Each structure stands twice: as C-alpha cells, then as structure tokens.
Amino acid sequence: MHDFNTLNALLVDYIDSQKFNQGPQNLYEPVRYILKIGGKRIRPILSLMAAQLFEGDPKTVLPGAFAVEMFHNFSLLHDDIMDEAPLRRGKEAVHIKYGLNAGILSGDVMLVLVYQYLLKMKDAADFAFLTAQFNQAAIEVCEGQQLDVDFETRSEVSEKEYLSMIEKKTAALLGVALTVGAAPFTSQRNLELLDDFGRNLGISFQLIDDLLDTFGDTHKVGKQKGGDIIQNKKTILVIRALENASADQKKELRNWYSSEKEHNHKEKIDAVSQLFIETGAKSATEKLADDYQERAIYAMEKIDASEELKGPLLDLARKLLNREH
Amino acid sequence: MHDFNTLNALLVDYIDSQKFNQGPQNLYEPVRYILKIGGKRIRPILSLMAAQLFEGDPKTVLPGAFAVEMFHNFSLLHDDIMDEAPLRRGKEAVHIKYGLNAGILSGDVMLVLVYQYLLKMKDAADFAFLTAQFNQAAIEVCEGQQLDVDFETRSEVSEKEYLSMIEKKTAALLGVALTVGAAPFTSQRNLELLDDFGRNLGISFQLIDDLLDTFGDTHKVGKQKGGDIIQNKKTILVIRALENASADQKKELRNWYSSEKEHNHKEKIDAVSQLFIETGAKSATEKLADDYQERAIYAMEKIDASEELKGPLLDLARKLLNREH
C-alpha cells in the first residue's frame, strides 16, 4: 500500500506526462499554469486512497483522479474571476496573468477535459455510473457557488440552508473524488458509504474553516484573522449567533454587520468574536463540526473493508480537519 | 417521416418540459432565458433528421439533440462575454441582463447539463462512444474560438489555418449533432460519413457567411454589410486577397486594414470590396464554398441509406447554404 507521498508522486508524474492537445498555446498555457501552481492535491489523493481501500491499484484510477483535480482547478479558475481575486495560492490568478477571456475559455476547455479524462476510466468502471456521479457533484458545485453568492445579499439565511450550500460547494466534490477512485473495485453500497464519508468530512472541514477564520492561529491558518467578519460573510457563526442572540445582542450584531457604517476593523473583529462566544455560536459550531466528523467516521465504519486499509483515509481525514495538511 | 416543422415542434415541446433542478433561480433563470430566445435550432433538428435517415424514431434522440443545442447556447453565452456583445438574436445578452458572474456560472452549469442530457442516451447508444465524439467536438469548439481570437492580432494567417479554425469553431458541432442523432441506428462507417457531411456543410456555410457579410443583400442577411471589413476581421476574403494581390494591391489592402488609421466606413467597404473582386478573392471563395458543398454531398452519397430518406437532410443543407432558413 502506498502512503500519501508516494501517491502524490504518482499523481504528479501522471499530470506532468499529459500533453493535452497540440492546439493553441494561448488556450492550454493557462490550463498548465493553474495545474502547476498546484495546491495540495487532496482530492485526487483521496481518489487514489479510495482505490487502495479496496485493494485496487491506484494507477488504474489516475485518469479519474486527474479529472477530479481538473474539475477543482476549473472551478477555482472561474470562481477567481467571479470573486475578482487577484491571487491564487500566492500567485497571480489566471484572469490577471492571461486576461478575462483566456480565463473563461481555458476554464471551459478544462471542464471538457474533465469528461475526457473520466472517459479514460471506461474500461475500468461503469462509465455511465461514473458520469452520473460526476455530473451530480458538478451541478452541486455550480449550485453551491450560486447559493454562496445569493446569501451575500440575503438578510436571513437558515442554518439548514447554509449547511446545504457548503455541502454542494465544497463537500460534494470530496464525495465524488472517493467514488471515482473506488468505483472499479467495490460494490454500490460501499460507494454510497464512501460518498457519505467524503461529504460529511467536507462539511466538517468547512465548518472548521469558518471557526479558524475568526478564532484560528493566524500563523497556522496562513491568512488574516477575521477576514470573514470584515467582509460581512454570512458564515455559520453569524447564522448561529443571530439565532441564539438576545434582543440586545442581535441589535449589536446587526449594527456591526450593517454595511452602511464604517467600522474600525480591529474593534469590529474583537466585538463580533466576543459575541460569537457569548451567544454560544462558537461552541455550537465546534459541536456541529464534531458531529459531522463523527458521521464521517460512522460511514467509514460501515464500509466493508479491512480496518488496516481504512487507516490511511481516516488518518488523512484527521489531518485535514486538524489542518496538518 | 416528420418534416422540419414537426421535428421543431417535437423539440420545443421537449425543451419546454425540462424542469432542470429546483435549485437556485439565479443560476437556472439565465439558462432558460438563452434557450428561450432561441434561434432556429438547426443543430438539434439535424440530430433528429439524422435519426430519421436510418429509420430511427427521432424521439429516441431528443436528449442528445437537446445536449447539442445546450452546448451551442453555452458557447454563445460565453462567447458573448468574451466579445463584449450587448445583444444576442436582438435581445439583451445574458451577461448584460444578468451580469458577468451569472453569465460565467450559468454557462458552466449548461456545460455540465450537456453531459447530463447526453447521459440520457446511454440505453439507446454506446455512451462511451457518444461522449468521445462529443468531447472531441467540444474541445474543437474551444480551440476554434481561441484560434479566432489569436488570428485577430496575427499579421499573417494562411488559408489552411483559417479553414482549420472554422472547421473547429463552427463545423465540428454540426458533425457531432448528426452523429449523436444517428448513433443508435447505424454503423460506424455511416456515422463517419455523416460527420464528414456535417463538417463540410459547416465549412461551406461559414465561407458563404464571409461572402455575404461583404457582398450580401443587407435585407436578406439581416445585418450591416461590411461589418467584417470595418472590424478588420481576417476572413477568407482578406487571406485570399493578400495571397493573390499584386504589390500595389497588397499595399492598398494593408493600408485599409491598418488599425492606426481612421477610415471613412463607406469608402473603406467600397474600396476593399472592389479589391476582393479584382484580386479574384471573391470568386475563389465562391469556388471554395462550392467545393465544400460538393464534398458534403459526396459524403452523403456514400452513406448507406435510401435516397428518399436522404432527401430532407440534403434539402435542409441546401436551404442553409442559400440562407432560406
């Protein structure tokens, strides 16, 4: 069984060996660029580990793993345009480096390439099933992104709506990453449990992300603390705080989140963080993140595979949630 | 056998009955909008006619036909953003009506829906084959769009490069529209010939488009004559004219196409049109369009199907080239 680093090396070799088309440089150069500036490739590694969970050869599912990574990078590319983000992983975002049009069109061809790589799995797994699973996740990612945008301008968002949004936007792709990797080697029942594992892991991950943005160690998290508060983002903390708040606390929160007023950043972060603690939103979110982590572990327990083979996936999940990766 | 109007009604009924997801209105509303403002739905009708060519029931391939139409509209949507086009078929373009972000994201979900509808063909045809054919065309459309953009800033473009660009950008999708429609009902050999028919038809169509833009009847063409000349577009006419021109004619052409100079529009259109005639570019392009039309007809002749059943497709092809549709 290969460990994380060996699987990562396998994946990097595979990605580097892909020539794409001999087609227009201006179309494929941004594709190579965003794949190159990389990131941690958690999703395709999950695919390879999912193959190993059922004693499958991870090499068999490299095209599927790459399809997942391609999709993830496609969505980052287009999201960066929509968010007007200048940087991606500390480097110039594609639309800044190559222009808006290249960003749109190269993203489009990446989405087609996703299906092109998925197609390379046709002899290993039920291709129609793989496509159905992938389409479902891809549609959810688009819907999750739209919901995230919608929430910015809505006055009330329920906890249920928020959880549904992060499941679509973040967690669905973790589920399908695992499904794609395991599909050639196991039963429908195990695939469903694995998808469940990935989705719950993804939701827990995102909830912890919300917590860390406000309460995390800036050094460890690697970004400015309180960014979500400054941007008036409707995270689970705000939603929970408003639900639990007394009339006075609610008034105070609404005042800080009023976009009509200019607030001192540090004062706002300090006061809102305090309100998150006092209303119990922080502890409730920690509890919720734990719940989803437990659901993930419970799904994994029910999977019909040896404890030994489950080890690496559970270990990676734990590291992800503890931000050790 | 159903005629064009019956097939069109069948298609419109099918499209209208699609609910898409119950998901975010802001995501699906632009999708419904661009499908609604319609156009002539030539591509999906080609799919339905291709089914009838082999005595297949066109209803069987409605999802595939719709996938083709969805892809076409996806590419129009993103192209309009890239071209900063304010109008589409006389109505507000999606990115104007709903904003840039909605344009990007709704286009993205349309591309996923393309594969979702293609998947509905899995019991009727070899789904992996369909996906392979579709991916090939979709990649070509992206490459063709990029080449078209690249050509704008290149000083020299060869006729071969231009023909390759229009085959990718326009003709490949006509080929796959026919392939998708016929795939459940005929042999690999016939599918290849049908693809060939569609591609040659598409190239001829685009060459005639270039001719009409300069020499067409404004009333019939429905857009301002000479638009390509004013925008300095490197159409086949310019490429041919430069190839055939004498030193003096070349100098004159380059002068008109110099973007550093301000020209009177009417003077420029008149002079350049005259040069297109004098250099033989006009007649050579007419000849080329005829050649591709003949190639299309030749491919159709080789298809193993009855003459009677070939009639409607040949008739539609003729009408398309004569702009009777």
The tens digit of pLDDT for each residue in A173-202 reads 999 999 999 999 999 999 999 999 999 999
Beta bridge partners of A88: A91
pLDDT in tens, A209-256: 999 999 987 666 556 788 899 988 899 999 999 999 999 999 999 999
**pLDDT for A282:** 97
Quote the minimal CA–CA distance from A275 to chain B in Å: 31
Residue A77 DSSP one-character state: H
Q: For residue A22, which residues of chain B lie inside 8 Å, CB to CB?
A: none
Percent composition of chain A: helix, strand, coil (DSSP 3-state, to 5): 75, 0, 25
**pLDDT for B325:** 67
Backbone angles phi and psi of B140, in degrees to 5: -60, -40
Flag whether pLDDT at A40 surpasses 90.
no
What is d(CA B8, CA B28) in angstroms, rounded to the nearest whole number?
23
Integer-rounded Cα Rg, in Å, for chain B is 20
Q: Does B119 sit within 8 Å of A146, measured CB to CB?
A: no
Residue A91 DSSP one-character state: E
Flag whether pLDDT at A75 surpasses 80.
yes
What is d(CA B120, CA B246) in angstroms, rounded to the nearest whole number?
57
Quote the minimal CA–CA distance from B232 to chain A in Å: 20
**pLDDT for B35:** 93
Compute CA distances B123 → A298, B217, B276, whole Å. Answer: 36, 47, 52
Confidence of residue B72 (pLDDT cuts 50, 70, 90): very high
Average pLDDT over residues A157-185: 97
Compute CA distances B117 → A68, A141, B43, B290, whole Å. Answer: 20, 18, 15, 35
Q: For residue B112, which residues of chain A lie inside 8 Å, CB to CB?
A: 111, 135, 138-139, 142
The amino acid at A159: E
Out of B105, B135, B142, name the one closest to residue A115 (CB). B135
Residue B324 DSSP one-character state: -
Counting one residue from A and one from B, how many pairs have CB atoms under 8 Å apart?
Answer: 110
By C-alpha distance, which of B50, B29, B20 is closest to B116? B20
Q: What is the ipTM of this complex?
A: 0.94
By C-alpha distance, which of B189, B236, B188, B232 is closest to B212? B236
Q: Is B88 helix (H, G, I), strand (E, B) or coil?
A: strand
Q: Does B139 sit within 8 Å of A21, measured CB to CB?
A: yes
Confidence of residue B222 (pLDDT cuts 50, 70, 90): low
Flag whether pLDDT at B149 surpasses 80.
yes
Confidence of residue A156 (pLDDT cuts 50, 70, 90): confident
By C-alpha distance, which of B209, B222, B213, B193 is closest to B302? B193
Mutate to test the interface with A, among B98, B135, B146 (most CBs of A within 10 A): B146
Mutate to test the interface with A, among B18, B95, B108, B117 (most CBs of A within 10 A): B108
**pLDDT for B82:** 92
Mean per-residue pLDDT of chain A: 93
Largest CA distance in chain B: 64
What is d(CA B214, CA B276) in angstroms, rounded to the nearest whole number?
9
pLDDT in tens, A3-23: 999 999 999 999 999 987 678
Q: For residue B127, which residues of chain A lie inside 8 Å, CB to CB?
A: 127-128, 131
pLDDT > 90 in chain A, percent: 83
Q: For residue B108, which residues of chain A lie inside 8 Å, CB to CB?
A: 78, 107-108, 111, 142
Higher pLDDT, A289 or A39: A289
What is d(CA B117, CA A40) in angstroms, rounded to the nearest whole number?
33
Average pLDDT over residues B152-167: 93
Flag whether pLDDT at A274 surpasses 70.
yes
